[in-house]
Amino acid sequence: MKEYNVAVAGATGVVGREMINVLEESGFPVKKLLPLASERSLGKEVNFKGNKIKVELLGEDSFKDIDIALFSAGASISKKIAPFAVQSGGVVIDNSSAFRMDKEVPLVVPEVNPQDAFKHNGIIANPNCSTIQMVVVLKPIHDMFGIKRVIVSTYQSVSGWGKEAVDQLWSELDEIVKNRQPLLKERVEKVLPHQIAFNLFPHIDIFTDDGYTKEELKMANETNKIMHADLGVSATCVRVPVLISHSEAINIELNKSATPEQIKEVLSNASGVKVMDDVAENIYPMPLYAAGYNPSYVGRIRKDSTIDNGIWLWVVSDNLKKGAALNAVQIAELLIKEKQ
- Strand 310-317 vs strand 147-156: parallel, antiparallel, or unpaired? unpaired
CA–CA dist 201, 210 (Å, integer) = 18
Are residue 139 and residue 258 in the same domain, yes or no?
yes
Q: Residue 67 to residues 8, 125, 250, 288: CA-CA distances in angstroms?
A: 11, 16, 38, 36
What is the b/e burial string over 248-278, where b = at least 16 CB atoms within 10 angstroms of the residue's CB?
Answer: bebbbbbeeebeeeebeebbeebebbbbbbe
Do residues 231 and 124 make contact, with C-beta atoms less than 8 angstroms apart?
Answer: no
Are residue 97 and residue 147 in the same domain, yes or no?
no
The model carries a pTM of 0.95
- pLDDT in single tens digits along all 340 residues of the chain: 899 999 999 999 999 999 999 999 999 999 999 999 999 998 899 999 999 999 999 999 999 999 999 999 999 999 999 999 999 999 999 999 999 999 999 999 999 999 999 999 999 999 999 999 999 999 999 999 999 999 999 999 999 999 999 999 999 999 999 989 999 987 766 899 999 999 999 999 999 999 999 999 999 999 999 999 999 999 999 999 999 999 999 999 999 999 999 999 999 999 999 999 999 999 999 999 999 999 999 999 999 999 999 999 999 999 999 999 999 999 999 999 866 5
Are residue 109 and residue 221 in the same domain, yes or no?
no
How many domains is the chain partitioned into structurally? Answer: 2
CATH number of the domain to which 110 belongs: 3.40.50.720
- Which residues are designated catalytic? 129, 246
CATH number of the domain to which 308 belongs: 3.30.360.10
Do residues 252 and 314 make contact, with C-beta atoms less than 8 angstroms apart?
Answer: no
Are residue 177 and residue 297 in the same domain, yes or no?
yes
Are residue 90 and residue 161 in the same domain, yes or no?
no
Are residue 108 and residue 204 in the same domain, yes or no?
no
Nearest CA among 19, 240, 271 for reference residue 126: 19
Q: Which range of residues forms the domain containing residue 92?
A: 4-126+324-339
CA–CA dist 124, 209 (Å, integer) = 29
- Strand 232-239 vs strand 147-156: parallel, antiparallel, or unpaired? parallel
Are residue 89 and residue 177 in the same domain, yes or no?
no
Are residue 188 and residue 138 in the same domain, yes or no?
yes
